[in-house]
């Protein structure tokens, strides 16, 4: 168990890997108030196919209601980078996450607010 915790900390330190590679991090508009109610349908349209309608995962992607994705391990920036650039498989065996075409930084901020709300409800924070 201890070893797992160490691995989680190391992975968290490496995330988001995009930053080390100099990828741009999409910035939501200044003054935007991320709104879970706006994020819900955007999540369902763009993310649910892989991450599950109830954020519980699918055969194509991991659950976002998981301790790995709590804010201290995967910050909101990780969501922006994953949506814009995709993410190479590193925590799971589902394969790489492809970039999600057609979602703006503002939309991802709303989606992230929705994910965080459900994470809090599930006791992940
Ligand atoms: C085609 C399937 C697919 C879609 C669509 C998808 N994802 Fe992913 N996502 C994945 C997989 C697979 C991983 C796990 C990669 C790994 O092994 O760590 C992942 C990982 C992530 C991560 C963790 C990134 C990291 O830094 O480790 C976040 C955050 C994420 N997805 C958010 C989203 C959001 C938000 C959307 C919708 C805008 C979305 N995903 C759409 C498949 C998908």
For 70-94, write each residue's pLDDT tens digit. Answer: 999 999 999 999 999 999 999 999 9
| CB 36 near ligand 1, within 6 Å | no
| Of 13, 97, 118, 119, best ligand 1 pocket probe by most atoms within 8 Å of the beta carbon | 97
Q: Which atom of ligand 1 is nearest to the CA of 107?
A: 38
d(CA 90, CA 95): 8
Q: Residue 95: name the closest of 63, 62, 52, 73 by CA.
A: 62
- % of the chain residues with pLDDT over 90: 80
């Amino acid at each position: 168990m201890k070893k797992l915790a160490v691995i989680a900390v190391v992975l968290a330190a490496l995330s988001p890997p995009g930053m080390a590679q100099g990828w741009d991090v999409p910035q939501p508009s200044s003054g935007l108030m991320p709104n879970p109610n706006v994020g819900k349908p955007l999540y369902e349209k763009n993310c649910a196919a892989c991450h599950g309608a109830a954020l519980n995962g699918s055969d194509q992607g991991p659950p976002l209601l998981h301790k790995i994705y709590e804010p201290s391990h995967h910050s909101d920036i990780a969501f922006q980078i994953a949506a814009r650039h995709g993410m190479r498989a590193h925590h799971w065996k589902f394969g790489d996450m492809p970039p999600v075409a057609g979602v703006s930084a503002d939309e991802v901020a709303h989606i992230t607010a929705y994910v965080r709300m459900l994470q809090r409800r599930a006791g992940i924070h």
